[in-house]
Amino acid sequence: MALPRWLVTAGTAKRPRVRPRRRLHGPPYGGHPARPATANQATAPPDRLSTELGSVDTGAARSGTLDVGGERMQAKDTLGRQGEQAAAEHLTRLGWQILDRNWRCGEGELDIVARDGTELVVCEVKTRSSIAFGTPAEAVTPAKAARLRRLAGRWLAAHGVGHATARIDVIGLLADGPDRFTVDHLKGVC
């Protein structure tokens, strides 16, 4: 027995596409629609008061910023600089010669370029205050390793040592307290 035609085609009709409703009032991410953010408000931390003559910081510890040598820095940047200094001191204690620090080109930056005897070594320094988001060495992804290899080649070409090769090391530092670090030196990572 054949089914009636209306029963066979009843479930095959396409439903009309329903578009999501647009918000008529206010920005799509929330906030106050009557007060749009200005350029100064978008870049300034919420606890920073702006004046014509300069800025006054009302809560540096709360916002994670520090005033170091007249220069505003994030606390993580300060930790990074301290870590790079500790890594350079570690390499010097090993008897390595530091050739360059924080070398930059259009593709990025090399933290430390050093010489271990006759071998040229590019060191990537990763500093963390805790391992809550992984160890410092875990932050070097395959993409970062490839970029480090390219940057090493750029450094060699810029310094006229195009025929040499460079080893790439990762120095992971974990903060143990103020100005104290645990050093994990991984040689020949990539």
Alpha-carbon radius of gyration of the chain: 27
Q: What is the DSSP string of 2-42?
A: PPPHHHHHTTTSPPPPPPPPPP-SS-TT-S-TTSPPPHHHH
pLDDT tens for 154-175 read 999 999 887 788 999 999 999 8
Do the Cβ atoms of 135 and 184 come closer than 8 Å? Answer: yes
- Contact between 93 and 139 under an 8 Å Cβ cutoff? The reply is no
For the chain, where are the E strands, in sequence order?
Answer: 48-50, 55-57, 65-68, 71-74, 97-105, 108-116, 119-128, 166-177, 180-186
For residue 132, what are its two tokens? 């809550």
More confident of the two residues 1 and 113: 113
- Read off the pLDDT of residues 11-41 as tens digits, 9 standing for 90 and up: 555 555 666 555 555 444 444 445 444 444 4
Query: What is the CATH code of the structural domain delimited by 75-186?
Result: 3.40.1350.10
Q: Residue 93 has what pLDDT? A: 95
Cα–Cα distance, 100 to 156 (Å, whole number): 12
pLDDT tens per residue across span 53-92: 332 232 333 344 445 455 555 887 888 899 999 999 999 9
Mean pLDDT computed over 149-154: 94
Mean pLDDT of the chain, nearest integer? 74
Q: What pTM, to 2 d.p., does this model score?
A: 0.61
